Amino acid sequence: MQTYSTRGTCSRQINFDVSPEGILSNVKFIGGCLGNLQAVSKLVEGKHIDEVISLLKGIQCRGNTSCGDQLATALIKYKEKNSL
């Protein structure tokens, strides 16, 4: 399980798994708008991380970011760390 501490959002943390093929699963946001974040988690389940980054990067809410944008940031950092 990967853990990312968010910045500038109501959610404080995002936990997620990535398969060796780059498929996202078990996305859980800690804090934030429960219903919306459960929906985001279900919508990205089983998608390749590149697709999720493309869909969510740059979406703004407060503070020039959003929970979706923070998930994209977490996945970008994951890719950099794991050379995907």
What confidence tier does 74 reach under pLDDT thresholds 50, 70, 90?
very high
The CATH number assigned to the domain holding 56 equals: 3.90.1010.10
Segments forming the whole domain that contains residue 73: 2-82
What ranges make up the beta strands (E) of the chain? Answer: 2-5, 11-18, 24-31
- The per-residue b/e assignment along 45-77, b for 16 or more CB within 10 angstroms, e otherwise, is eebbbeebbeebeeeebeeebbbbbbbbbbbee
pLDDT of residue 63 exceeding 90, the answer is no
Instruction: Please count the structural domains in the chain.
Output: 1
pLDDT digits (tens, 9 = 90+) for 9-59: 999 999 999 999 999 999 999 999 999 999 999 999 999 999 999 999 999
pTM of the model: 0.94
Q: For the residues 68-83, what does the mean pLDDT come to?
A: 95
